[in-house]
């Protein structure tokens, strides 16, 4: 495996590559062993807490990033998932891997996804050229937004070498309101009421039959908002205790369970309708107010046919090799979009060396 | 400012092209008379004007597609236009182009409070999107100053921001889906009523592409419930540096105001003379607004005021009522009008890291002296988005050029201190030639290649965003 230690070495490796490469960050997301690791390109370039800005090299372990931010009472607000438990992988998640996968957790409903916090990128394209886009400031409309394009491109357009992120202060306190025993339809309806309130809900999920609503902020504010939300949500809701969001973020209830895991993105109110229409034995965890569904099914079960008639898409997150051979990881795109995506890949990576076949 | 020479082969076929457009559009939707087209000769960058060859005002996505098919086949450049409020010349026509105005596409297609989303046609104005959901106490967050007039299509093209984006983000953070018509007439959907589009983030790429990749005819937008209340505090300082340090401390303290606005002395004076808002006469003034229920507002303002007092402010004026809030905002909101009343001005919108504010203001004041042009500074301090207003006299020969030269130096300095050329107005024609100050040839080449994918013939808004020389080999090929 090639393991460049800086951007220049990375560009030389890519320019000199004669065969396709699998790009890896921390290797925690089950894409198999890579041929090119970015983990050696590591370290913080700039951190300005007063400007809520962090610039960091792509191979920096997520853990280091989070520890640094915590030392100033700040955090990555988009709450990136740790895939290791669900996928049974080892390794150390890197910030570049988080960005490449646009990995975003429960707080997505309030603060946006990783792509919304991403201010700038540096990457090496398929010709070995170093490209920069965006920057380190929060408002920037200079030229095309390749920053968004790189977030969630899974290393198919270029290899990230550096990313700039908007960070946010940690709240003084957080509270979670819970309600057991709601079915999915009633649960999602309750989450919608909470998300449609003025109380700035930062998490809205249903896991293990329990609906959860999170509020964060100054202590007095969280107290006030909790009380108002309890009024709004009605009977059966109460203040929950303990760490309730890591299991949502990391899909922990499915970690030790056999079967394939799908990640489905739909209109929130469609969530329970879709799962009811699946027609196979399954379990579901609803996040993002019902708009993000984690579905556990038996190995080999393709749920995409059930998505017909719904607007949205499904990604196969965990599957056996056998299933992978038959079912695409990403939802096939309609023809015009597939043509544009293929066109972009051909421009960014004309020789077709990055993560061939991963996205289409 | 240079624009490409009009293509005589196109001009000579004008009536033939008009006839084809008339065949696919309703009566009155094709404008081609010498006088009538003048209404479209410029946008809000009024220094540059050029009547287009033809203007079309389609009523539907299907009509937009039909127009683009004709223009694609005939090799005619197309300049998409929302409401024409671009300050960067994004909708400036060329003499051989078809201006495609989306003004008649102004319907609300769907409001869905349960899923917190509204789907509108793209010609609808920004403020009327909020207007459509206000009765349920919802709003659409991005709020550019031109929101009364500007269209969602233009907001998407320029990825518009506004005063409240410190908390709510800009257009790209609030856009969930679009109906996009490609230059060859293909109609396609990207994203929808869900939070992440699958595959590559084409939605993120379209947003801010200045009408160069496709024409957006419909958009799904995130709507939010209005906060229970909002209240500002006004804080005056006798130095800009101290005001900057105060902004930084407020942000670090963990309160996230919805807006932090900054004005310098020249701006304060002009606004005060115009609006009589009762501003203190000081070097720098901050308006910090927070949201929430009454007690939450009080708690946040108390924290902010405590931080401000550590910086020895000359005045701290907390609003205690809706009337007092309106008075605090009055001067700031009338800033552009107030300056416009006394002078012609050019409004820049470079963004800088907040920490670079003091040296940026010093540099602007040096340049002001060097060029002999006055500058009033007003900006969104929370996110470093500057709005220096350079005053000049449009009737004085050479003054516009002098002003542009000074503006270019200011913007280059924004890049030098770690910022960018434009934070919310877009590049258009105004900042096109400065792009090499921010990007290397390889950086720009990658962006040019993106346009190659969507619009291989370079017919959509071709003379914008990129330095003319950089796009020369691709345009008109």
Structure letter (DSSP) for residue B164: T
What distance in Å separates the CA atoms of residue A318 and residue A261, rounded to the nearest whole number?
5
The CATH number of residue B396's host domain is 3.30.70.2740
What distance in Å separates the CA atoms of residue B180 and residue B218, rounded to the nearest whole number?
8
pLDDT at B165: 87
**Stretch (H or E) spanning B171:** helix B171-174
Q: Are residues B120 and B218 in the same domain?
A: yes
Q: Is residue B88 one of the residues assigned to a domain? A: yes
Report the gap between the CA of A291 and the closest CA in chain B (Å): 6
What percent of chain A is predicted at pLDDT more than 70? Answer: 100
Tens-digit pLDDT profile for residues B62-78: 999 999 999 999 999 99
What distance in Å separates the CA atoms of residue A85 and residue B299, rounded to the nearest whole number?
41
Q: Are residues B99 and B208 in the same domain?
A: no
Question: What residues of B are in contact with residue A340 (Cβ under 8 Å)?
Answer: 202, 453-454
Q: Are residues B213 and B273 in the same domain?
A: no
Please state, rounded to an integer, the average pLDDT across all residues of chain A. Answer: 96
Tens-digit pLDDT profile for residues A81-119: 999 999 999 999 999 999 999 999 999 999 999 999 999
pLDDT at A32: 75
Q: Is residue B254 one of the residues assigned to a domain? A: yes
Contact status, residue B468 vs residue B86, Cβ threshold 8 Å: no
**Using CB atoms and an 8 Å cut-off, which of residues 127-156 of chain A contact chain B?**
129-133, 135-149, 151-153, 156
- How many C-beta atoms lie closer than 10 Å to residue B428's C-beta? 26
Q: Are residues B266 and B364 in the same domain?
A: no
Alpha helices in chain A (DSSP H): 7-16, 62-71, 84-87, 95-100, 108-111, 114-117, 146-150, 184-195, 219-233, 246-249, 270-276, 321-326, 335-348
> pLDDT grade, residue A186 (50/70/90)?
very high
What distance in Å separates the CA atoms of residue B116 and residue B119, rounded to the nearest whole number?
10
Q: Is residue B446 one of the residues assigned to a domain? A: no
Q: Are residues B219 and B243 in the same domain?
A: no
Q: Is the pLDDT assigned to residue A331 strictly greater than 80?
A: yes
The CATH number of residue B281's host domain is 3.30.70.2190
**Stretch (H or E) spanning B296:** helix B294-309
Q: Is residue B270 one of the residues assigned to a domain? A: yes
Q: Are residues B301 and B201 in the same domain?
A: no
What distance in Å separates the CA atoms of residue A216 and residue A313, rounded to the nearest whole number?
30
* R_g over Cα of chain A: 21
- Of B419, B434, B449, the one marking the end of a domain is B434
Domain count of chain B?
Answer: 4
Please state, rounded to an integer, the average pLDDT across all residues of chain B. Answer: 95
* Phi, psi of B379, deg, nearest 5: -160, 165
And the tokens for A22?
């699998």
Question: What residues of A are in contact with residue B176 (Cβ under 8 Å)?
Answer: none
Mutation target for A interface from B194, B254, B460: give the one with most A CBs within 10 A. B194
- In whole angstroms, how far apart are CA A287 and each of A187, A208, A301? 11, 12, 22
pLDDT at B162: 85
Contact status, residue B206 vs residue B176, Cβ threshold 8 Å: no
Q: Are residues B129 and B169 in the same domain?
A: yes
Q: Are residues B241 and B160 in the same domain?
A: no
Q: Is A110 near chain B, with CB under 8 Å?
A: no
The helix, strand and coil proportions of chain B, stated in percent and rounded to the nearest 5, come to 40, 20, 40
Report the gap between the CA of B352 and the closest CA in chain A (Å): 6
What percent of chain B is predicted at pLDDT more than 70? Answer: 100
Q: Are residues B330 and B362 in the same domain?
A: no
Say how far residue A22 (Cα) sits from the centre of its chain: 20
Give residue for tokens 């009454």: B294
**Using CB atoms and an 8 Å cut-off, which of residues 425-444 of chain B contact chain A?**
425-427, 431, 435, 438-440, 442-444
Give which of A161, A185, A201, A144 is closest to A55, Cα–Cα. Answer: A161
Question: What residues of A are in contact with residue B114 (Cβ under 8 Å)?
Answer: 189, 192, 196, 268-269
Tens-digit pLDDT profile for residues B423-450: 999 999 999 999 999 999 999 999 999 9
- Of B179, B205, B225, the one marking the end of a domain is B225
For strand A36-37 and strand A23-24, is the pairing parallel, antiparallel, or unpaired? parallel
The CATH number of residue B139's host domain is 3.30.465.10
What distance in Å separates the CA atoms of residue A10 and residue A160, rounded to the nearest whole number?
10
pLDDT at A242: 87
* Phi, psi of B423, deg, nearest 5: -95, -25
Q: By mean pLDDT, which of A33-37, B96-100, B362-366 is the weakest?
A: A33-37
The CATH number of residue B93's host domain is 3.30.43.10
Question: What residues of B are in contact with residue A189 (Cβ under 8 Å)?
Answer: 114
Structure letter (DSSP) for residue A19: S
Q: Is residue B448 one of the residues assigned to a domain? A: no
Q: Are residues B58 and B98 in the same domain?
A: yes
In chain A, what are the domains?
7-169 (3.30.465.10), 173-249 (3.30.70.1710), 252-326 (3.30.70)
What distance in Å separates the CA atoms of residue B377 and residue B387, rounded to the nearest whole number?
6
Contact status, residue A45 vs residue A8, Cβ threshold 8 Å: no
Q: How many residues are listed for chain B in this entry? A: 477
What distance in Å separates the CA atoms of residue B383 and residue B356, rounded to the nearest whole number?
12
Structure letter (DSSP) for residue B271: H
Residue among A140, A268, A315 whose CB faces B351 most closely: A140
And the tokens for A108?
């997505």
Give which of B322, B429, B394 is closest to B42, Cα–Cα. Answer: B429
For residue B162, give the 3-state DSSP assignment: coil
Q: Is A73 near chain B, with CB under 8 Å?
A: yes
**Using CB atoms and an 8 Å cut-off, which of residues 374-393 of chain B contact chain A?**
380, 383-385
What distance in Å separates the CA atoms of residue B23 and residue B8, rounded to the nearest whole number?
23
pLDDT at A34: 84
What distance in Å separates the CA atoms of residue A180 and residue A184, rounded to the nearest whole number?
11
**Environment class of residue A33 by beta-carbon count within 10 Å: exposed (0-12), middle (13-18) or buried (19+)?**
exposed
Half-sphere exposure of B161 (CA within 13 A, CB side): 28
Give which of B420, B244, B405 is closest to B349, Cα–Cα. Answer: B420
Tens-digit pLDDT profile for residues B108-159: 999 999 999 999 999 999 999 999 999 999 999 999 989 999 999 999 999 9
Question: What residues of A are in contact with residue B252 (Cβ under 8 Å)?
Answer: 49-50, 72-73, 169
Q: By mean pLDDT, which of A333-347, B33-47, B146-160, B252-266 is the weakest?
A: B252-266
Q: What is the dihedral of CA A313, A315, A321, A324, to 10 degrees?
A: 30
Contact status, residue A26 vs residue A353, Cβ threshold 8 Å: no
Tens-digit pLDDT profile for residues A249-266: 999 999 999 999 999 999
> pLDDT grade, residue B255 (50/70/90)?
confident
Answer with the residue of higher pLDDT: B276 or A30.
Answer: B276
Q: Are residues B181 and B205 in the same domain?
A: yes
3-class DSSP string for B187-238:
EEEEECCCCCCCCCCHHHHHCCCCCCCCEEEEEEEECEECCCCEEEEEEEEC
- Contact check, Cβ <8 Å, A136/B353: yes
For strand B98-101 and strand B54-56, is the pairing parallel, antiparallel, or unpaired? parallel
Tens-digit pLDDT profile for residues B193-207: 999 988 999 999 999
Give which of A211, B165, A298 is closest to B155, Cα–Cα. Answer: B165
Q: Is the pLDDT assigned to residue B477 strictly greater than 60?
A: no
Q: Are residues B18 and B124 in the same domain?
A: no
Q: Is residue B44 one of the residues assigned to a domain? A: yes
Q: Is residue B269 one of the residues assigned to a domain? A: yes
pLDDT at A25: 86
pLDDT at A360: 75
Contact status, residue A195 vs residue A189, Cβ threshold 8 Å: no
- Contact check, Cβ <8 Å, A312/B194: yes
- How many C-beta atoms lie closer than 10 Å to residue A18's C-beta? 6
Report the gap between the CA of A295 and the closest CA in chain B (Å): 17
Q: Is residue B462 one of the residues assigned to a domain? A: no
pLDDT at B456: 97
- Of B396, B417, B434, the one marking the end of a domain is B434
Question: What residues of A are in contact with residue B249 (Cβ under 8 Å)?
Answer: 50
What distance in Å separates the CA atoms of residue A149 and residue B216, rounded to the nearest whole number?
18
Query: What is the mean predicted confidence (pLDDT) over B403-409?
Result: 96
Q: By mean pLDDT, which of A93-107, A140-154, B107-121, B255-269 is the weakest?
A: B255-269
pLDDT at B94: 97
Question: Going along chain A, which residue ranges are E strands?
Answer: 23-24, 36-37, 44-48, 53-57, 74-75, 118-124, 130-134, 159-166, 168-169, 173-180, 203-207, 210-217, 238-239, 260-266, 282-287, 292-297, 312-318
> pLDDT grade, residue B341 (50/70/90)?
confident
Is-above-0.90 flag for pTM? yes
What percent of chain B is predicted at pLDDT more than 90? Answer: 87
**Stretch (H or E) spanning B291:** strand B284-291
Mutation target for B interface from A129, A139, A200, A215: give the one with most B CBs within 10 A. A139
> pLDDT grade, residue A327 (50/70/90)?
very high
Q: Which domain holds residue B240?
A: 230-336
Tens-digit pLDDT profile for residues A274-304: 999 999 999 999 999 999 999 999 999 999 9
Residue among B159, B253, B299 whose CB faces A220 most closely: B299
């Amino acid at each position: 495996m090639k393991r460049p230690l800086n951007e220049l070495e990375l560009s030389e490796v890519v320019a000199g590559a004669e065969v396709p490469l699998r790009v890896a960050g921390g290797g925690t997301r089950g894409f198999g062993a890579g041929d090119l690791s970015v983990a050696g390109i590591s370290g913080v370039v700039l951190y300005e807490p007063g400007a809520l800005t962090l610039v960091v090299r792509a191979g920096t372990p997520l853990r280091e990033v989070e520890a640094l931010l915590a030392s100033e009472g700040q955090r990555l607000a988009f709450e990136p998932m740790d895939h290791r438990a669900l996928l049974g992988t080892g390794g150390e998640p890197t910030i570049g891997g988080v960005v490449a996968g646009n990995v975003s957790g429960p707080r997505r409903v309030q603060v946006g996804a990783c792509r919304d916090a991403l201010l700038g990128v540096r990457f090496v394209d398929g010709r070995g050229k170093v490209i920069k886009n965006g920057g380190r400031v929060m408002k920037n409309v200079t030229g095309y937004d390749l920053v968004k394009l790189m977030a969630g491109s899974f290393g198919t357009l270029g290899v990230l070498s550096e990313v700039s992120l908007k960070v946010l202060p940690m709240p003084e306190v957080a509270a979670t309101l819970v309600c057991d025993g709601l079915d999915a339809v009633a649960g999602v309806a309750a989450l919608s009421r909470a998300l449609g309130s003025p109380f700035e809900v930062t998490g809205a999920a249903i896991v293990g039959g329990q609906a959860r609503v999170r509020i964060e902020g100054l202590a007095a504010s969280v107290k006030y908002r909790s009380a108002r939300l309890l009024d709004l949500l009605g009977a059966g809701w109460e203040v929950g205790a303990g760490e309730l969001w890591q299991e949502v973020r990391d899909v922990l209830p499915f970690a030790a369970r056999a079967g394939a895991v799908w990640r489905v993105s739909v209109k929130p109110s469609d969530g329970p309708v879709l799962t009811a229409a699946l027609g196979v034995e399954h379990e579901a965890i609803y996040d993002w107010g019902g708009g993000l569904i984690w579905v556990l099914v038996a190995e080999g079960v393709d749920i995409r046919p059930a998505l017909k008639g719904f607007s949205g898409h499904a990604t196969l997150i965990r599957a056996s090799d056998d299933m992978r051979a038959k079912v695409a990881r990403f939802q096939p795109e309609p023809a015009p979009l597939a043509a544009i995506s293929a066109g972009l890949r051909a421009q960014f990576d004309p020789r077709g060396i990055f993560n061939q076949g991963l996205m289409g | 400012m240079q624009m490409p020479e009009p293509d005589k082969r196109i001009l000579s076929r004008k009536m033939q092209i008009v006839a084809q457009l008339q065949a696919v559009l309703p009566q009155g939707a094709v404008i081609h008379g010498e006088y009538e087209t003048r209404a479209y000769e410029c946008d809000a960058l009024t220094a540059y004007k050029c009547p287009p060859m033809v203007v079309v005002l389609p009523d539907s996505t299907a009509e937009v597609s039909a127009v683009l098919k004709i223009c694609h086949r005939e090799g005619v450049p197309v300049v998409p236009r929302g409401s024409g409020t671009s300050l960067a010349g994004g909708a400036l026509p060329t003499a051989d182009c078809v201006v495609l105005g989306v003004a008649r596409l102004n319907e609300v297609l769907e409001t869905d409070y349960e899923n917190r989303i509204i789907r509108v046609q793209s010609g609808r104005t920004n403020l009327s999107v909020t207007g459509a959901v206000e009765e349920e106490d919802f709003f659409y967050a991005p709020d550019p100053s031109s929101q009364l007039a500007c269209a969602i299509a233009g907001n998407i093209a320029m990825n518009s921001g506004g005063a409240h984006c410190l908390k709510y983000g800009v257009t790209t953070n609030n856009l969930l889906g679009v109906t996009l018509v490609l230059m060859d007439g293909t109609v396609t959907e990207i994203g929808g009523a869900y939070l992440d589009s699958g595959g590559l983030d084409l939605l993120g790429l379209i947003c801010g592409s200045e009408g160069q990749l496709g024409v957006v005819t419909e958009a799904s937008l995130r709507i939010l419930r209005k906060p229970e209340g909002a209240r500002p505090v006004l804080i005056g300082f006798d130095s800009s540096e101290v005001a900057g340090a105060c902004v930084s401390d407020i942000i670090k303290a963990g309160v996230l105001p919805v807006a932090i606005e900054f004005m310098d002395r020249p701006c304060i004076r002009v606004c005060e003379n115009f609006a009589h808002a009762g501003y203190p006469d000081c070097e720098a003034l901050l308006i910090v607004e927070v949201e929430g229920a009454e007690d939450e507002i009080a708690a946040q303002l108390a924290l902010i005021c405590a931080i401000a007092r550590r910086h020895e402010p000359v005045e701290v004026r907390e609003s205690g009522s809706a009337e007092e809030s309106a008075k605090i905002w009055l001067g700031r909101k009338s800033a552009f009008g107030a300056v416009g009343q006394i002078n012609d001005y050019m409004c820049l919108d470079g963004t800088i890291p907040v920490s670079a504010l003091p040296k940026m203001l010093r540099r602007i004041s040096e340049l002001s002296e060097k060029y002999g042009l006055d500058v009033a500074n007003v900006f969104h301090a929370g996110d470093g988005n500057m709005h220096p207003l350079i005053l000049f006299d449009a009737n004085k020969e050479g003054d516009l050029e002098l002003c542009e030269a000074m503006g270019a130096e200011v913007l280059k300095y924004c890049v030098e201190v770690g910022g960018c050329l434009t934070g919310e107005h877009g590049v258009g024609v105004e900042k096109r030639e400065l792009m090499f100050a921010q990007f290397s040839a390889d950086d720009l080449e990658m962006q040019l290649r993106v346009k190659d994918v969507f619009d291989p013939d370079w017919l959509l808004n071709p003379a914008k965003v990129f330095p003319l020389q950089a796009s020369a080999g691709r345009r008109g090929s």
